[in-house]
Each structure stands twice: as structure tokens, then as C-alpha cells.
Amino acid sequence: MYILKVLITGLAAGAAAFVPLSGTGLSVLVSRILGFGIDYRLMKMILLGIFAAGVAACYPDLLRLLGALIGIIRDLISNLQTFVKSRRGDTAYGYKRILAGNYRWMLAMIGIALVPALIIGALIHPAARFAYGNLLAVSMGFFVTALVLLVSSYMAGADKTPKKMKISDGLIIGLFDGFSFLPGISKIAVTSGAGFLCGVSRKATVRISYMMVLILTGCMILRGVYTPMFPNQVPAGPGACVVAFLGALVSGYYVIRRSSRLISRRYERRFAIANMALGILTVIVYL
């Protein structure tokens, strides 16, 4: 019975991670409804399953971003060589443009966004530890996600590609993402909301959102997430950890392959209602 509860929690968390719902918040809520607490190892395996699902589904974009990174490093070395030759008085050709192409710009914007996101994440880490053990805090996260989705659904469409994004756009996205370390606040929702606020096209916003989910989930795996267990609860064994990982992996991969079309104005309002319902349900479970 315990293994079944773990499987259901992993499936719920994986499915929520790549749509405008909070995978961590939903995992805390579902586990409480089922009558058990997620310990440190279970949460880590759920996050690892979400991360693996994202890598498996987004590998084409990941490979393009890796190619963009290699290209940037290669051009930086080439420009350095050109600079040295020009200083020596040797014949030197012109400098190469470092940020050429959408994927190089996307990589740069993701790097810029990570700075405020990780700083804010480190600053609110004590609050996040408290929130994982308090259902009222989780419910507030769901309500915040609903508000972000509701506001972003009324924003006018835009066509700004990664090449047209500014440094301020990346900083704003990172500022929003920093608070997604709190349970109940969806990384997809806040990233897409910030992207729409900056006028980024929906196609680019979806790709940036998925990449930020992967990177921030990886940071949570490395940093660790504190989740209190119920009194006298035995820590999860290897079997439960594997089940949690596979549940999050399977559901996450299935959803991410079909979820890009859900990040639209029409579905944002539906997900806003869903988050409000989850927030209300969380309060009821707490009471």
C-alpha cells in the first residue's frame, strides 16, 4: 500500500512539473492526502525523475544549446587570437560576432536569468524549508501561481525572439524564477509570465521555461529539499525511491511531449482556476 501511495505521488509530481502547476507543491499535498510524509530521499528521487524526463524530452534543444556554447567558446578563443595578432602588428582579420543566432542568445539569456534566480533561491532557502512542512504556505504558493497565470492571460501577444531580448528581460525572468523554489509556485507559470511581461514570443517562452525548469530542478537536487516526515515514519527504502523516480519520469515525459500547446492564453485561465482549486483543497486538508 505504501508503494502505491509513493507511485501516485511521483506520477502527480512529474505530470505537474511541465505544466503551470507546482510539482513539489502537488507532491506535498498528495502525500498528505494519502497519509504519509515525503522524506528527503523520496523528494530527491521525484526531482531526479522530473529532471530525467526533461532531459529525455528536450534533448534536441539541449544539444543545440550545447552546440551554441561550444560555438561561443570557439569564437571567443578566435577573437582573443585576433586581438593578440593585432597587438603584435601582424595581419589580423575582423572579430567574430559572439552572440549570433537565436540559440546563442537564448543561452545568454538563461545565464543572465540564473544569476538573480539563484541569489533569491539562496536567500529564501530557510523560508522554503519551513514552507515544505506547512500546508498553509503551500496553499499560498498555489494562489500566487493562479494570480500570475491570470495576469499573464490578459497580456497582449508579442513576437520578441531570443535575439531581440535585452539583459533586463533575462534579469526579470530570473527574478520571477527565484521564488519558484517555494512549494506551490510553478516554475513554468512564473517563467512564462515573466516572458510575456517582457514581450517574448510564446514559442521562445516555452523553450526558455523548459530549460529553466531543468536547471532549477537540478539545483534543488544538488542543494536538497527538506520535507518533514510523519512521527514514527520509517525513511523510504530503495524500492520506494525507485518507484518515485519512475513515476515522475514516466508522467513527466508523457506530459512534456504534449504540454507546449497548453501554455496559451486560453489554457492559462484554466490552469489559474486549477491552482486556485488546489490552494483551497490544501487549506481544507490543513484544517
pLDDT at 120 (0 to 100): 94
pLDDT at 12 (0 to 100): 92
Contact by Cβ (8 Å): 268, 152: yes
Contact by Cβ (8 Å): 37, 230: yes
pLDDT at 224 (0 to 100): 67
Cell of 44: 530527491
For CA atoms 33, 36, 40, 45, give the dihedral sign: negative
Cell of 85: 595578432
pLDDT at 228 (0 to 100): 55
- DSSP letters, 164-186, are G--HHHHHHHHHHHHGGGSTT--
Which ranges in 102-186 belong to alpha helices (H)?
A: 102-123, 125-131, 135-152, 167-178
Which residues lie below 8 Å from residue 63, measured CB to CB, with a gap of 6+? none
Contact by Cβ (8 Å): 275, 149: yes
Rounded CA-CA distance 136/130 in Å is 11
pLDDT in tens, the chain (287 residues): 788 888 999 999 999 988 888 888 898 888 888 887 777 788 889 999 999 999 998 888 899 999 999 999 998 888 888 888 777 766 656 778 888 888 898 899 999 999 999 999 989 888 888 888 888 999 999 999 999 988 888 775 567 888 888 889 999 999 999 999 998 999 999 998 888 888 888 888 888 888 999 999 988 888 766 555 455 556 778 888 899 999 999 999 988 887 766 555 567 888 999 999 999 999 999 88
Contact by Cβ (8 Å): 15, 252: yes
Angle at 34 between CA 28 and CA 37, to 5 degrees: 45
How distant, in Å, are the alpha carbons of 47, 152, 207, 254 from that of 266? 29, 11, 19, 21
Rounded CA-CA distance 45/39 in Å is 10
Rounded CA-CA distance 70/107 in Å is 11
Rounded CA-CA distance 14/247 in Å is 7
Nearest to 244 by CA among 21, 24, 55: 24
**Predicted TM-score (pTM) above 0.85:** yes
Three-state SS at 196: helix
